[in-house]
Amino acid sequence: MTEPLVKVENLKKHFPIKGGLLGKTVGEVKAVDGVSFTIHKGETLGLVGESGCGKSTTGRMLLRLLEPSEGNVFFEGKNVLGLSLNEMRKMRREMQMVFQDPFASLNPRHTVEKILEEPLIVHGMKDSKERKKRVKELLEVVGLNSYHAKRYPHQFSGGQRQRIGIARALAVNPKLIIADEPVSALDVSIQSQVLNLLQDLQKEFGLTYLFIAHDLGVVRHISDRVGVMYLGRIVELADSEPLYDNPLHPYTQALLSAVPVPDVEIKKERIILKGDVPSPSNPPKGCAFHTRCPQAMDVCSAKRPDFREVEKGHYVACHLYE
Amino acid sequence: MTDDGEISVVNSIDFQINSGEVLGIVGESGCGKSVTSLSVMGLVPSPAGKVEGDILFNGENLVSASEKRMRQIRGNEIAMIFQEPMTSLNPVFTIGSQLIEALQIHRKWPKKKAQAQAIDMLKMVGLPRAEELMKDFPHQLSGGMRQRVMIAMAMICAPKLLIADEPTTALDVTIQAQILELMKKLNEETDTAIMMITHDLGVVAEMCQRVVVMYAGKVVEEADVKTIFTSPKHPYTVGLIQSVPDMRDKKERLYSIPGNVPKPGSVKAGCQFAPRCAHAFDRCISETPALESLGGSQKVRCWLYEDEKGVDIVDRTIS
Ligand SMILES: Nc1ncnc2c1ncn2[C@@H]1O[C@H](COP(=O)(O)OP(=O)(O)OP(=O)(O)O)[C@@H](O)[C@H]1O
Ligand SMILES: Nc1ncnc2c1ncn2[C@@H]1O[C@H](COP(=O)(O)OP(=O)(O)O)[C@@H](O)[C@H]1O
Ligand code: SF4
Ligand code: SF4
Ligand SMILES: [Mg+2]
Ligand SMILES: [Mg+2]
């Protein structure tokens, strides 16, 4: 196995809940509650889970767009959380983000050229001619045309805007791209174009991806390994094949069985979970999934299961495997 | 384009829903799925305009029905649920009062009887502690619960047709599975026909008996669900099915349809799909194909199947 590019240890983010007249802290949302994983050079790690389980918060903490409450993030062996603001700015060159809503993340008053030049200026490319050349290059790399440079974001379709978002992330030659639901807002036929583009770019530039999405089919397609999150924790992590073909955690099993598959020949056995995901401000004690788990035992409400390697490279947090 | 410069966003829609059946309507964002369903309800937003052609419901033409008659039909015989439940729940009234009101208006039921039915309905859609829930306001419920309440509200007058516009798109998969299960159960138990609008082919395979595929405001293919997945004919349908990543089996590379979804009215002549179609030939650019029957239940709008066509189908326009 290649060396890890990113190593995340026991990462936590607890958001305070303010209340009362004085705006005192009356509780906290445990958005991310002790997450650990590594990402190897050149691979794609997928992160799946239902809305609010902490996927985006995790991604944002890696870039320090959010300050973690606890834990460590190492990038090429260096602790990102120990860096000064100035050092962090340099580090951002290596790690870039692509967002779900390409429209909201592009300044509507700037031309595409201006949008793509901005990160180049920030990272010290002073020569305007050189920048314009790079913009042209970037547009071509993501499958747009150089004449698109003079247009504004609203003049593009959703899929094209996502290409611009990707071009912007690529501008400074990063090593890691954190893509947070990059195809969720796109139509099926456009989604596959963008997924193919991401795969091509990975090959061409040796990129490493953290790919966050709730669509399990998309994640399987693009990921080498996949982590499944529930209520701020990773409950299972493995290579994508064993994870999808032989899920161990009861939540992963239910999640996979719930996805409708576009195939009329197959009638799936479905595990229908009862109730809703509990609030992260008051997660259940012990195993956070025990309130909905079809296989819960007495120990599950009392003790939080450890996240353990139960088969080679296959990690799971569940008392059934202890 | 029509003469006065209106852009027709939905053209030549022609399909039927049989009683008790679940019909899927699929297509990309902006292709006219919602406009089509709203026009059935007589609710086409006013700048977008007017409906031409006929919408026959139990033999009655809804296009020429009076507003008074449409009000009777809406909520009573045809009900609708949306992606975002708050669009049909009133935030300032309790769940109970909204359910009871529906029965009082449409069925003229006395309050007591309506109340009992409302509680039964909440239980039927699988909501816990139905009696207490009657006193709750919509914002006190989770997304999945609100969706159930909306379904209860839509189903309470036992409509003959339920139009569901992306009813589970905003929900998580485990909650989506609950809601789809519920809709299936209601369809079986009450014989309500469902028009299921979705972009998710998985949901279609799971729920529907028949499928209508729309592209740029037109029906391009229609068939029973098995035929759509095993023997799709229109190049767009074929591309759409191949574009979906399959969770059970990793492909090296996804199929992708080149180009972008056209804005309505931007492809002026010929087949709307021609700019993206790998099979396009001269005729596709100059002449607009009609929706033709291939025999059996399958219909397709594509010049490739000229020689296989059966009966002609009359086009209608909703603009
Ligand atoms: N009130 C309106 N005025 C003018 N045009 C409209 C109006 N409502 C919808 N349209 C246009 O009609 C076309 C079809 O819209 P519709 O909402 O039916 O799409 P849809 O297939 O439901 O898409 P989605 O999957 O995004 O819900 C779009 O081009 C849309 O911009
Ligand atoms: N800035 C914030 N302040 C307070 N709570 C937040 C904030 N951002 C996210 N949360 C909460 O943290 C949890 C995880 O959110 P998020 O990481 O966005 O989930 P996901 O991306 O998995 O849908 C949610 O309960 C969300 O409401
Ligand atoms: S630890 Fe217990 S409750 Fe949690 S997933 Fe495993 S069996 Fe279910
Ligand atoms: S009519 Fe021509 S362009 Fe249109 S789908 Fe058929 S082959 Fe393609
Ligand atoms: Mg998110
Ligand atoms: Mg719609």
What's this model's pTM, rounded to 2 decimal places? 0.86
Cα separation, A229 vs A166, whole angstroms: 25
Q: What is the pLDDT of residue B46?
A: 47
Cα separation, B118 vs A298, whole angstroms: 37
Angle at Cα B275 formed by Cα B274 and Cα B281, nearest 5°?
Answer: 45
ipTM at complex level: 0.84
Angle at Cα A81 formed by Cα A75 and Cα A82, nearest 5°?
Answer: 100
Q: Are residues B27 and B155 in the same domain?
A: yes
Which of B179, B208, B237 delimits the end of a domain?
Answer: B208
Q: Are residues B98 and B188 in the same domain?
A: yes
A246 touches chain B (CB under 8 A): no
Residues in chain B closer than 8 A to A101 (CB atoms): none
Q: Are residues B147 and B232 in the same domain?
A: no
Q: Which one is predicted more confidently, A77 or B82? A: A77
Q: Are residues B198 and B225 in the same domain?
A: no
Q: Are B219 and B32 in contact (CB under 8 A)?
A: no
Which CATH number is B149's domain given?
3.40.50.300
Return the percentage of chain A with pLDDT > 70, whole number. 99
A1 touches chain B (CB under 8 A): no
In a domain, B55, yes or no: yes
In a domain, B57, yes or no: yes
In a domain, B1, yes or no: no
Residue of B218, B277, B285 with the most ligand 4 atoms within 8 Å of its CB, for mutation: B277
Nearest to A255 among B145, B173, B205 (CB): B173
Cα separation, A170 vs A173, whole angstroms: 5
Q: Are residues B197 and B260 in the same domain?
A: no
In a domain, B215, yes or no: no
Per-residue DSSP letters for A183-239? TTTS-HHHHHHHHHHHHHHHHHHT-EEEEE-S-HHHHHHH-SEEEEEETTEEEEEEE
Tell me what percent of chain B is helix, strand and coil, each rounded to the nearest 5.
35, 15, 50
Q: Are residues B87 and B187 in the same domain?
A: yes
Residue of B236, B284, B305 with the most ligand 4 atoms within 8 Å of its CB, for mutation: B284
The bridge status of strand A225-230 relative to strand A95-98 is: unpaired
Nearest to B256 among A157, A192, A261 (CB): A192
Q: Are residues B251 and B162 in the same domain?
A: no
Structure tokens at B236: 């767009």
Range of the domain at B192: 8-208
Per-residue DSSP letters for B12-50? -------TT-EEEEE--TTSSHHHHHHHHTT---TTT--
In a domain, B300, yes or no: yes
Cα separation, A55 vs A231, whole angstroms: 10
Give residue-wise pLDDT tens across range A141-181. Answer: 998 888 899 999 988 888 889 999 999 999 999 999 999 99
Domain count, chain B: 2
Q: Are residues B159 and B25 in the same domain?
A: yes
Q: Are residues B62 and B34 in the same domain?
A: yes
Cα separation, B204 vs B240, whole angstroms: 13
Query: Mean pLDDT over residues A220-244, rounded?
Result: 97
- Chain A nearest CA to B66, separation (Å): 37
In a domain, B216, yes or no: no
User: Which protein residues touch ligand 1 with a CB less than 6 Å away?
Assistant: B 9, 27, 29-35, 45, 47-48, 199, 264
Cα separation, B117 vs B158, whole angstroms: 11
Q: Are residues B167 and B225 in the same domain?
A: no
Q: What is the pLDDT of residue B14?
A: 62
In tens digits, what is the pLDDT along chain B, a chain of 319 residues?
233 334 444 544 566 788 889 999 998 877 778 777 777 776 655 444 555 566 667 777 777 778 888 887 777 788 888 877 777 788 999 999 999 998 998 888 999 999 999 999 898 888 878 898 999 999 888 777 888 899 899 888 888 889 999 888 878 888 888 889 889 988 998 888 999 999 899 999 999 999 999 998 888 999 999 999 999 999 999 999 999 998 887 788 899 898 877 776 677 789 999 999 999 999 999 999 999 998 788 999 999 998 765 443 333 333 3
- Chain B nearest CA to A218, separation (Å): 6
Q: Which one is predicted more confidently, A16 or A299? A: A299
Cα B10 to ligand 1 centroid, rounded to whole Å: 9
In a domain, B185, yes or no: yes
Cα separation, A205 vs A192, whole angstroms: 20
Give residue-wise pLDDT tens across range A102-151. Answer: 777 889 999 999 999 999 998 888 899 999 999 999 999 998 888 899 99
Which of B152, B174, B208 delimits the end of a domain?
Answer: B208
Which residues, 6+ apart, have CB-to-CB distance to B187 below 8 Å? B20, B22, B193, B194
In a domain, B2, yes or no: no
Residues in chain B closer than 8 A to A199 (CB atoms): 253
Q: Are residues B122 and B251 in the same domain?
A: no
Which of B208, B241, B256 delimits the end of a domain?
Answer: B208
Q: Are residues B157 and B246 in the same domain?
A: no
